[in-house]
Copies of this chain bind each other. A is one copy, B any other.
Amino acid sequence: MEKIVVSIVMGSDSDLPIMEEAAKILEQLGVGYELDIVSAHRTPEKLFDYAKNAHTRGIQVIIAGAGGAAHLPGMIASLSPLPVIGVPVKSSNSIDGWDSVLSILQMPGGVPVATVALNGAKNAGILAAQIVSTASKETQDAIIAYKQTLQEQVLEKSARVRR
């Protein structure tokens, strides 16, 4: 079994169907991960403990997904030295996703969050693997192979469309 180096957290279990995409692609790329629920607004103490200590537990990258006024990724970034990837989730009552996107993306100078597309948990997983791969030839090879697969799938579809 792989060592856990990526930690995936989300603000609510309603984000799980979206955030599982990050887990799936990490599994496919052979990168160890954990999955948990941490709510910035409902469990602020847990947020603090979690974010202060993740890097001491061997975690290398954090993926945090949240919707609406999404404060989870930014607050983790405030407390942890690790790179934090934010996934804006388009929750019900969101204003078309703009709230999630802007409250994750527009972080002040000094505290970055690596934001991916709305509901882009899969890309968050790939990005986490790319970060891990900066010190792992094995993971970089997995990413290069994955990109190769993407290409082949499109070429196949292209062949089908041209016929």
**Hey, which bits of chain A sit against chain B, CB under 8 A?**
11-13, 16, 34-46, 48, 55, 60-61, 67-71, 74-75, 77-79, 81-83, 85, 90-91, 93-99, 101-120, 122-124, 126-127, 130-135, 140, 143-144, 146-147, 150-151, 153-155, 157-158, 160-162
B residues within 8 A CB of A117?
A: 68-69, 93, 105-108
With A38-B158, A83-B131, A99-B102 given, name 10 new contacts (CB 8 A).
A36-B161, A38-B154, A42-B151, A42-B154, A81-B143, A105-B116, A110-B146, A111-B123, A112-B130, A114-B114
CB atoms of A98 and B95 under 8 A apart: yes
Whether the pair B135, A134 counts as a contact (CB closer than 8 A) is yes
**With known contacts A115-B116, A116-B105, A130–B93 Cβ distance under 8 A:** no
Q: Are B93 and A114 in contact (CB under 8 A)?
A: no
Q: Please, which residues of chain B bring their CB within 8 A of the CB of A123?
A: 107, 109-112
Q: In the complex, A110 Cα to B43 Cα: how many Å?
A: 12
Closest B residue to A157 by beta carbon equals B13
Nearest-CB residue, chain B, relative to A144: B81
Chain B residue nearest to A109 (CB atoms) is: B122
**How far, in Å, is A151 (CB) from chain B's closest CB?**
5
With A69-B105, A98-B102, A107-B41 known to touch, is A83 a contact of B130 (CB < 8 Å)? yes
A-B contact pairs, 21 of them (CB 8 A): A12-B157, A35-B161, A41-B78, A42-B110, A43-B155, A68-B107, A69-B102, A69-B103, A71-B71, A71-B78, A81-B143, A83-B130, A99-B102, A99-B103, A102-B103, A107-B117, A107-B123, A112-B127, A114-B115, A134-B134, A134-B135
